Structure 1
Amino acid sequence: MDVRVSFLQLPVELICDILQLLSVKNLLQCNLVCKRLRRIIYQSSALLYSIELSRCRMRSAMSSDLSFATRLQNLRDRENAWRTLNLNSRHKLKLAHSGTVYEFAGGVYGTGKEIDRRTAYITFYDLPSVTSGAQRSITHTFSDINVVDFTMDPAQDLLVLVSINLDSQYIYDLHLHTLSTNEPHPLAPAPILPCYRKEPGLNLTDGAIRIQISGDTIGFLVKEAFLFLQAHFEVFKWRAVFPNSCIVKSIAGIDDFTFLSQDHFLLVQPDGLFNVYSFSDPISNPLNPILRASYELPNLSPAYNFWYISLSSNPAPCVPGPTEENKAYYCSPSDRLHACCIYVYQPALPNRDTVYPFVFFFHPKTLLDPPNERKHSSGKARMNIFSPWQGSNTVDVHDDNAPSHSTLDNDSPIFSDLPSFSTSPSVPSSPHVSPPSSASSVSLDGPSSDLLNFPTPQTIHTSPSSMLFDISPSHSSRTTLSKAQCQFPVPWDAWGPQNTRWFREHLSKDWQRSIYGLRTADCVVDRAALESLIHHNGYRSAGANPDVDANDSDSDSEVDGGDESDEDGFIFINEVAFSVGDIESQLGCTGTLPKFLRVRDFNPYSISKVMEEITSEENTSMQNPPSTLVPCAPTVDREFVEREINRFSPDMVRDQGGHRRVVTEPTNINVRGVFTQNIVSWLPYVEAISQDTFNVNEVMMDDSRLLLIKRGRGRKLVKTINILTL
């Protein structure tokens, strides 16, 4: 007797177990099959949790002991708190000391203490312990090494210390220690990685440095060249035996770097060229790293130069998972927003008023998917500078003798499974060109194509978008790029406007943008507070030394001969002094101005959710109109106030808080002649402004916290950090 049982006749528990093995995309397609499957999915917390994780660009922490129902509710509550900036709790972190070198990663905040211009010790604070009512910390002392910088990865219990070694043939040493004990890391075959070989007659370099951890990879950059030394970037596999690195050198300098994926990194040249490299195992292969593509920034006008370009993103790719207790999920390392801060100046007029800062945001997959055909670039001359040192595993940025990319085999890594860019004509400069329509329904009732909910208009016509990628873990494929593809940069109009969002920026002492996942956070000045300060306290010329804030009694006042780098209120690059970029310093005022917190979210799912919520709120507000704002006192010199406020970017001052907006239309940034054309960009985002104001100078963030940093005497960091949890 042939007895056949259909899938839908199986017990519900067994059906759920089977559905749990499917990808989220297939799971949503099952939702469209019939009412029974739809009902099963709706009633399963585990299946709904998988769907919600994908939409929020999160990954599950397999070690969590929480039930799926609890995880799902926590995730929804957290995402709703970010959309509305509804704070859950507020706590204060008391620092034993503050310094110029600090780091925040994996729920740990570390800050160094400088004595005689060297980091003598670093204290690490466990932030979850602060929010639980306690405050755990550990201090590591460094008496035998000259520490100049550090970074950490609590998920791997990894602490990387950068030191200068005067007694070695290399300038820098990277010490691989455990974060918990400050002992050599047991997974590192060599506890010290030497970097940047010394040259005869030169024992030290003045080049600024930067270091970043990405799983088992460490990137280390010496940014500016010193005399005839080249800028130096080296990628290490810190768990591999020697040789375990590959190198890129450039005598023209390298401004910054970031990891785009587990095996791709981005270098930015001082002339505004983005270079994407890949590397494969073993990393010491002579072909590593391989230049995959180059991208141009908008053309500068004559008499203007790029002064400084910085990159930032968080978290790094290939994060093993959360380290905090009871954490059920974490941000997907492949779904990250990148920020590029650009500072342009006129060499003939080196002062603060001639520095023009901008910031734009983009997704890494934008640069991992170069167009198949290249248009002619802007024609900007590129220096063909050769490296005087060429090792078997060293690549010079402009070396024609480097291995030809046309000879690469099919094992060369590139993300060819991603959609291609459109090769249609360049983007019109007018912001009135209508981009593709915005988000559709995000509920389970909608078509399965709404899963990713990426309405982003990143293509000039209707070809696939580089943001329209599968949320399931990507699989690298192998392909071959021609040498011509790497020699001719992709012009800005072919990749930039449709894949970025630009803003006017302010000159900042801290180069890094606060980013986590697809969100970015900053602060904007309350207009009422600024008007009151200008009118009642008076205005002193910019550049004057700021007075001491009487409220900053907890500022670092230790007398130890160190911590002098912040006292003058200036930053130095290329031996040119520029004023610190916060409004308080520019106005020369006392105290810290109240500021609203601002969070921008570039996740299309968040955009569509907020659009639905705003529509509902608007329908309600039509029945209950909001009250008007109280006007300023008639004694205020409005003309004077407006003139001073207008000195800053309009994005830096807000009239009120407690509101949200969705931006899907193109914006046209007035570049004031810095670039040859105004910059059009239209990467969609949703913006939330806090209801309350805070006395803060800088904001840091992770997936569940906002850290409010304040500066006191001499613009030093105050020894109290406000922690806002969502």
Structure 2
Amino acid sequence: MLLRPRAKFLSLAEELLSYILTFLSCKDILRCSSVCKALRQTYLSSSELQYITELSGQQLLPAPGMDLDNNSSIYKRLQLLRDKAHAWFKLDIHSSKTVFIPEPFRRLTNTFVVDGHLCLFNEDQQLAKIFPILPKPSQQIVIEHEWSLESLRPVPNADCFDVIMDPGENLIAIAYVIFGLPTDDAKIYIDLGVLDGDGAHPQAAGRTLFLSNTVFQGNILASDKLEITICGKYITFWHTRRRSFVYDEPNEEMWWLQIWDWRHSTTSNCVISGPKGQDSSGFCFLGNDRLLTVSKDLRLYSIENLSQAPQLLACFLMPVSMTSIDSPTPMNDDIARNGGLQLHAQRTMWTSDPKNRLLGFTAQIQNDASNSFTFVISTRIFFDLQVGRMATIPWECWGPLNSRIFPHDPQCDFDVCGNRVLHTFPATSGKDSSQDMGYKLHLMDFSPLAVERRQGLGKVVSEPSTIDITESAEKLTTFLPYVVVEFDRTFDADQLIDIWFEGDRIYLPKPNTEDPDSDTAGELEVIDIEWGSYILQS
């Protein structure tokens, strides 16, 4: 009996070859395209294969629910994706517009930007407001609303201490305390509502979230810090308590964090508490099922089941003893949203991959006020726990290859979005250190395709950098590669109160001209990254 020769893979039609390759990862697609000319030609002829590798190279994911249609072909998306990456390197930092911040809301501690909206809360006057910042014609959700003292407080003796808004979820969370008798006995609640009205949220499990007794135990001290956050399907309550001891005893800080899935339950057993004496600067979500707390070390937790206490997965040790750690940059955009209920104010085509983003924070070396540093860390290390399978992972095993450390000037600010960092640095050191030489804004892109997409713009930094720790005479060397662009505009020290960086916009809060010595902002300078029509039409 004659055996028929087996059909060879390369003899298949090019369309079928392309279809089969789409099931592979980006790395495997590139490997296949490098083994022979036929597969290379298949790759070059397929917009879909190039789109897959482009997304991976920029460390992005397709936005949930944004299926391909006739109005946005893969070829068009591929071109827009490439244009967007290049546009950041040729950003016109001089082209901006101004938005004024209303008088009662000029303290930045209660002012933030979410989904192209300015969200404001005045705790003293018990007022809140949200409005769109220079909305674009294609923006599908535009919310503008104000809350008075009466509308914020559910009962007359309630005192609102935090208000958080999320236009993408049409959600407002109002945290308030009700004092009882005796006066130090207090109850805290979090009420949920809609931003575009005054009713209950239709997707919420209930109107009010209830705190665990382990998080809040009935009294509020003057030193307590109480905060709430919204991160897509999650709402959190953060309680920090600092006690002062007599004589030369240091302050001891204790903290508790409770997490709810607000669509499914008004109660939660997902509570994390910090070790005594170990200050914590904050936390951030890594995808839908992981949470990272930032302190003298980085602790990674699994939060897959909110009916149980979080499970500690690993403890990542920092390189030196740190103190005065700033809160980590928020990572709630595009991370913990539920695709089926997502309502972005701007329906973008891509979101950041939580497994390949950046975490940023500043820290001061203990007992050395002159040494302050900015840490930029890739989140990929928190998803790859194969490093020796240790519960406690030394800095040398995870830090150098997954981070960059920069000297931090007290006058400098920075923000992180996806794989890009905006950071201000002194324009020049100058011969006279007392002379104010101004500051310049730097863009650092850490995505793997940044080198290719810069098209001759910016400087590639692939060599390691070393930081000297004067107190301990240690040297910290880090290797994470990036491309940096220094923009041709110099800011005075008092011109840069902060940097907010969201999507395709940069927001620079400007000082209040009526009271230049205060820490309030009177206006926002808004800089758009122009790279084409990246918003999908409805």
What's the TM-score bracket when you normalise by the shorter of the two chains? 0.7 to 0.9
1:720 aligns with: 524
Alignment partners' CA distance in 1, 2:50 and 2:94: 24
Alignment partners' CA distance in 2, 1:333 and 1:128: 27
Question: SS of the residue aligned with 1:662?
Answer: strand
Alpha-carbon shift at residue 87 of structure 1 (Å): 6.3
Counterparts in 2 of 1:182 and 1:20: CA distance versus 1, 3 Å: farther
The question of 1:688 aligning with 2:485 is answered yes
What one-letter code is carried by the residue in structure 2 that aligns with 1:672?
T
1:71 to 53, 74, 77: 77
Alignment partners' CA distance in 2, 1:138 and 1:124: 4
2:257 aligns with: 233
The question of 1:495 aligning with 2:398 is answered yes
Alpha-carbon shift at residue 247 of structure 1 (Å): 1.1
1:318 aligns with: 336
Counterparts in 2 of 1:28 and 1:241: CA distance versus 1, 3 Å: same
1:191 to 207, 219, 222: 207
Task: Say if 2:106 and 2:521, in contact at 8 Å, map to a contact too.
Answer: yes
Task: Say if 2:145 and 2:196, in contact at 8 Å, map to a contact too.
Answer: no
2:419 to 508, 512, 518: 518
The gaps in structure 1 that reach 5 residues or longer are 347-352, 371-419, 424-480, 536-586, 588-592, 615-658
Alignment partners' CA distance in 1, 2:112 and 2:205: 25
What one-letter code is carried by the residue in structure 2 that aligns with 1:106?
D
Alignment partners' CA distance in 2, 1:692 and 1:517: 24
More strand as a share of residues:
2
Alpha-carbon shift at residue 599 of structure 1 (Å): 0.9
What one-letter code is carried by the residue in structure 1 that aligns with 2:302?
S
Alpha-carbon shift at residue 360 of structure 1 (Å): 0.9
Alpha-carbon shift at residue 37 of structure 1 (Å): 4.0
Q: How many residues align?
A: 488
Question: SS of the residue aligned with 1:710?
Answer: strand
Alpha-carbon shift at residue 135 of structure 1 (Å): 12
Alignment of 1:85-234 (within 5 A): 85=91, 90-97=96-103, 98-100=105-107, 101-114=110-123, 117-129=124-136, 138-143=144-149, 144-145=152-153, 146-166=159-179, 171-195=187-211, 197=213, 198-199=216-217, 202-204=219-221, 206-226=223-243, 230-234=254-258
What one-letter code is carried by the residue in structure 2 that aligns with 1:363?
S
What one-letter code is carried by the residue in structure 2 that aligns with 1:264?
R
Alignment partners' CA distance in 2, 1:345 and 1:719: 36
The gaps in structure 2 that reach 5 residues or longer are 154-158, 245-251, 531-538
Counterparts in 2 of 1:333 and 1:127: CA distance versus 1, 3 Å: farther
Task: Say if 1:149 and 1:163, in contact at 8 Å, map to a contact too.
Answer: yes
Counterparts in 2 of 1:92 and 1:47: CA distance versus 1, 3 Å: farther
Task: Say if 2:193 and 2:199, in contact at 8 Å, map to a contact too.
Answer: yes
Task: Say if 1:311 and 1:338, in contact at 8 Å, map to a contact too.
Answer: yes
Alignment of 1:549-698 (within 5 A): 595-607=439-451, 609-610=453-454, 613-614=455-456, 660-673=458-471, 675=472, 677-693=474-490, 695-698=495-498
Task: State the TM-score, normalized to the length of structure 2.
Answer: 0.78
Task: Say if 1:84 and 1:660, in contact at 8 Å, map to a contact too.
Answer: no
Task: Say if 2:290 and 2:301, in contact at 8 Å, map to a contact too.
Answer: yes
What one-letter code is carried by the residue in structure 1 that aligns with 2:445?
D
2:349 aligns with: 328
Alpha-carbon shift at residue 345 of structure 1 (Å): 5.6
The question of 1:28 aligning with 2:30 is answered yes
Task: Say if 1:126 and 1:136, in contact at 8 Å, map to a contact too.
Answer: no
Alignment partners' CA distance in 1, 2:80 and 2:53: 14
Task: State the TM-score, normalized to the length of structure 1.
Answer: 0.59
1:706 aligns with: 506
Task: Say if 2:143 and 2:167, in contact at 8 Å, map to a contact too.
Answer: no
Task: Say if 1:106 and 1:324, in contact at 8 Å, map to a contact too.
Answer: yes
1:59 to 58, 61, 77: 61
Alignment partners' CA distance in 1, 2:238 and 2:323: 19
Alpha-carbon shift at residue 339 of structure 1 (Å): 1.2
Counterparts in 2 of 1:69 and 1:495: CA distance versus 1, 3 Å: closer
Alpha-carbon shift at residue 22 of structure 1 (Å): 4.3
What one-letter code is carried by the residue in structure 1 that aligns with 2:377?
F
What one-letter code is carried by the residue in structure 2 that aligns with 1:77?
D
1:340 aligns with: 361
- Name the larger-Rg structure: 1
Counterparts in 2 of 1:345 and 1:99: CA distance versus 1, 3 Å: farther
Counterparts in 2 of 1:87 and 1:13: CA distance versus 1, 3 Å: farther
Task: Say if 2:358 and 2:416, in contact at 8 Å, map to a contact too.
Answer: yes
The superposition leaves residues 234-272 of structure 1 with CA deviations (integer Å, 9 ceiling, x where unpaired) of 122222225433112234343321223422222234xx1
The share of aligned pairs that are identical, in percent, is 24
Alignment partners' CA distance in 1, 2:356 and 2:139: 33
Question: SS of the residue aligned with 1:224?
Answer: strand
Counterparts in 2 of 1:326 and 1:242: CA distance versus 1, 3 Å: closer
Question: SS of the residue aligned with 1:72?
Answer: helix
Counterparts in 2 of 1:335 and 1:109: CA distance versus 1, 3 Å: farther
The superposition leaves residues 272-320 of structure 1 with CA deviations (integer Å, 9 ceiling, x where unpaired) of 1322222332x223xx2122222322344xxxx7234432243363344
1:289 aligns with: 310
Pairwise CA RMSD of aligned residues? 3.8
Task: Say if 1:92 and 1:723, in contact at 8 Å, map to a contact too.
Answer: no
1:404 aligns with: none
Counterparts in 2 of 1:532 and 1:509: CA distance versus 1, 3 Å: closer
